[in-house]
Amino acid sequence: MERVCLILGFFDGVHKGHKAVIDSAVNYAKENNSQAVLITFKNSPAEYFKGCGEYIYPRELSYEIIRGLGVNSIVEKDFSALVNISAENYLEKLLEDYRPLSISTGFNHTFGHNRAGNAEFLEKKQDEYGYKYFCAPACSIDDEIVSSTLIKKYIKAGFLDKVNNMLTEPYTIKSEVVHGKELGRKLGFPTANMVYPSNCVRFPYGVYVAETPYGRGVLNWGVKPTVDGKSELLEVHIPGFNRDIYGERLKIQVLRKIRDEMKFDSLEELKSQIAKDTEECLKS
């Protein structure tokens, strides 16, 4: 069996600290004509310990970004089946299944019963078991250690400049384009409507500049208080684009906020404001 370069971790959102871990394995794999393999979990360990989980991204989006960084394959494990085995047994099982040339983790990665498996443990065992261990140190930006927890806090607060500085690519929403009431089309500003991904943290309602595969767009996120006021909806207007993309899983990058969500006295006022928002969007 071919020996591989293993990466251990959950990697929600894929921030710059995660990238350092992944890069160490991908680079070593290239040097040794090997493959970089990520061992992870479908559900956050927080779901096991706390009974609920809140994510930056759906897993499939995180995996898409991870593969884009050069990881060859991703293996999902059942966290509940592994949490109570010893760190030694956990490591021995990895060695048996993958014969790793190297193992890469972040500085704070733990595994096994009572979280006894950690960076110190993996470093100590590398000579005994014949793998090279890479430990990515803490990644600090603006004197803060980058973490998925911190990023989720900033998403909720609407600090997208901080979020986008910590992630490997701008904060992204990916969701299926669904049929709406076509009010935007009637106002002269057709939109692609999407449902917010479930179990993911929410950023504040408002109007944002977004990047799409079809060009720069104006993203509205909220309950459309002028015409509805009840149902949450993501909708993006892409100037000059009017193709039918219903059913497509549209990927949009949220760059910056233009304004808060507002209720207007008439559809004419709303139409006028959308025109201003579009103009503002195209400036940046």
Q: Is the pLDDT of residue 166 over 80?
A: yes
Q: Are 90 and 111 in contact (CB under 8 A)?
A: yes
Smallest CA-to-CA distance from 44 within 36, 52, 33 is with 52
Q: What is the predicted pLDDT for the residue at 205?
A: 96
pTM score above 0.85: yes
To the nearest whole number, what is the mean pLDDT of the chain? 91
Rounded distance between C-alpha atoms, residue 212 and residue 223, angstroms = 22
Q: Is the pLDDT of residue 29 over 80?
A: yes
Q: What is the predicted pLDDT for the residue at 140?
A: 96
Q: Are 280 and 236 in contact (CB under 8 A)?
A: no
The answer to whether the Cα torsion of 181, 187, 192, 198 is positive or negative is: negative
Q: What is the predicted pLDDT for the residue at 229?
A: 61
Per-residue pLDDT of 99-129, as tens digits, reads 999 999 999 999 988 889 999 999 999 999 9
Q: What is the predicted pLDDT for the residue at 217?
A: 94
Q: What is the predicted pLDDT for the residue at 184?
A: 64
Q: Where are the beta strands (DSSP E) in 179-231?
A: 192-194, 206-212, 215-222
Q: What is the predicted pLDDT for the residue at 185?
A: 67
Which residue do the tokens 């607060």 mark? 157
Rounded distance between C-alpha atoms, residue 157 and residue 204, angstroms = 7
Per-residue pLDDT of 213-259, as tens digits, reads 999 999 999 987 777 667 888 999 999 888 889 999 999 999 999 99
Residue ranges and CATH numbers for the domains of the chain are: 5-145 (3.40.50.620), 170-283 (2.40.30.30)
Q: Are 254 and 208 in contact (CB under 8 A)?
A: yes
Q: What is the predicted pLDDT for the residue at 81?
A: 82
